[in-house]
Amino acid sequence: MGKVTIYIKLIDGKLVYRDSEKDHGHTIKTKVRPGDKVTWKLDQCADICELTDIKITGSKDFFQKHPKQNDFNEWKAKVSPKAQGEITYQPDFTVCETCTDKSAAFSVTSTVEKSDICDEDPPKIIVDP
């Protein structure tokens, strides 16, 4: 049983992914084995305040349970021992917009909900036989 981490960030209004398997880009294919633990986590300087959900498309039996939030920046799921094929996923999140007032000694952060930011070709998780 292994561990795979998928890091998520927002760059120029587009989601960018990288994983512990060295895949990276606007869409990635992460390979897992049955029983692996998968963690979705905000990358450094992500411009995202919180991951609010990981929406899965594909087999409902791919993971033992729907991914669960572990912290504001982290979701986890365990690949089912009987998992086959592939799924796609779409993170839901809250975007941070930070404006710094140069005349003051503080910065103001306002939060807006995700709007039209979505992947045309969503990232995939594939069972490596």
> Where are the chain's structural domains?
3-127
pLDDT at 109 over 90: no
d(CA 117, CA 14): 7
pLDDT at 101 over 70: no
Which CATH number does 3-127 carry?
A: 2.60.40.420
Residue 98: its pLDDT value, please?
Answer: 60
Question: CA of 8: how far to CAs of 19, 113, 123, in Å?
Answer: 9, 16, 11
Banded model confidence at residue 108, pLDDT cuts 50, 70, 90: very low
At 52-80, the pLDDT tens digits run 999 999 999 999 999 999 998 999 999 99
Q: Average of pLDDT values for 88-92?
A: 95
At 14-61, the pLDDT tens digits run 899 999 999 999 999 999 999 999 999 999 988 899 999 999 999 999
- Residue with tokens 């009987």, as numbered in its chain: 82
Residue 16: its pLDDT value, please?
Answer: 95
Banded model confidence at residue 119, pLDDT cuts 50, 70, 90: low
